[in-house]
Structure 1
Amino acid sequence: MSATITPTLSQALGSGLAGAIALNVLHETVRQFVPDAPRADLLGERSIVKGFEAAGEQPPQGKKLYGLAMLGDVASNALYYSLVGVSKEQPVVAGAALGALAGIGAVTLPGPIGLGEAPTKRTTATAVMTVGWYLFGGLVAGAVFKRLKS
């Protein structure tokens, strides 16, 4: 009789972090070479600027703004992708669903919330890459979680 290991919060968070890092490495690498690549970095920067301005503060600029955007993106995606731990039996399927939903949200929500549509929806190729890359991050999170729990 084999013992099963109960997934822990740290396994879920670690898996989410792996998915978030994979997503960000893909975003940041491809955008250097592909003109139609999504620009999640710009969405992050715009949201930070909006937050600072709403608080009546001067937003950071340049490398500091970019660094905060990357930190916020990795942290928020890591927490989101850690939800793969909810599906103990099918974490890869859960990761795929989470990734697809995140990608669809990244294409459809920035415009209505005032961050602009161009970073993730300026062309059909941009939108497809956006959904695909978030799907990739979710699959990585699911696969890592599956491996950690076995």
Structure 2
Amino acid sequence: MAVTVLHETVRRFYPNAPRMDILGMRAIAKGLRYAGQTPPDDDQLHTLSLLGDIVSNGLYYSFSGGGKMALWRGTILGAAAGVGGVVLPGPMGLGVAPSARTKETQALTIGYYLVAGVVAGAVAKWLRKVKV
């Protein structure tokens, strides 16, 4: 949830912010076209993209687990996701502008996912301590 909230908040105020929502919209539309379906309108695609981000990031960052190494695992997962967010969209045919149009956009993309990984690791570690 942290990375999606961060993306959506900063993009409204900062023109060089990464637009991971656009990458999500493109990926959904591309998948639907590949399956012979017509993609929904942009508003619906945006909603689906945000929901997909929350679910997929939640599943991904859950691998940080708990215990002593949770913070490190979360940090490593976040760094890997950030680098992937910059490097992979182009080869996947989703375009590079949303996450890599400037050096600043690239740094923010990596930073967002790194922050999300740290948050995930810290929460996992905390939850393990309180034995929820």
Q: Same fold (TM over 0.5)?
A: yes
Q: Output one character per residue of 1:118-139: Cα deviation in whole Å (capped at 9) or x when no partner.
A: 0000000000000000000001
CA distance in 1, matches of 2:92, 2:4: 22
CA distance in 2, matches of 1:101, 1:45: 22
Structure 2 gaps, min length 5: none
Partner of 1:62: 42
Could you tell me which of 94, 110, 115 is aligned with 2:94?
Answer: 115
* 1:116, distance to aligned residue in structure 2 (A): 0.3
Alpha-carbon RMSD across the aligned residues, in angstroms, is: 0.8
Give the TM-score normalised by structure 2: 0.95
Partner of 1:94: 73
CA distance in 2, matches of 1:62, 1:43: 12
The letter for the 2-side match of 1:34 is: Y
Give the TM-score normalised by structure 1: 0.84
Partner of 1:142: 121
Structure 1 gaps, min length 5: 1-20
CA distance in 1, matches of 2:102, 2:43: 27
CA distance in 2, matches of 1:63, 1:82: 29
CA distance in 1, matches of 2:27, 2:42: 15
Could you tell me which of 82, 91, 95 is aligned with 2:62?
Answer: 82
* 1:34, distance to aligned residue in structure 2 (A): 0.7
CA distance in 1, matches of 2:112, 2:42: 25
Aligned counterparts, 1:12-31, within 5 A: 21-31=1-11
CA distance in 1, matches of 2:51, 2:2: 14
Q: Give 4+ residue runs of structure 1 displaced > 6 Å after superposition.
A: none
Q: Calculate percent identity across the aligned residue pairs.
A: 53
Partner of 1:71: 51
Q: Is 2:26 the partner of 1:53?
A: no
Aligned residue pairs: how many? 129
The letter for the 2-side match of 1:128 is: A
Point out the structure with max Rg over C-alpha.
Answer: 1
The letter for the 1-side match of 2:17 is: A
* 1:62, distance to aligned residue in structure 2 (A): 2.4
CA distance in 1, matches of 2:56, 2:67: 22
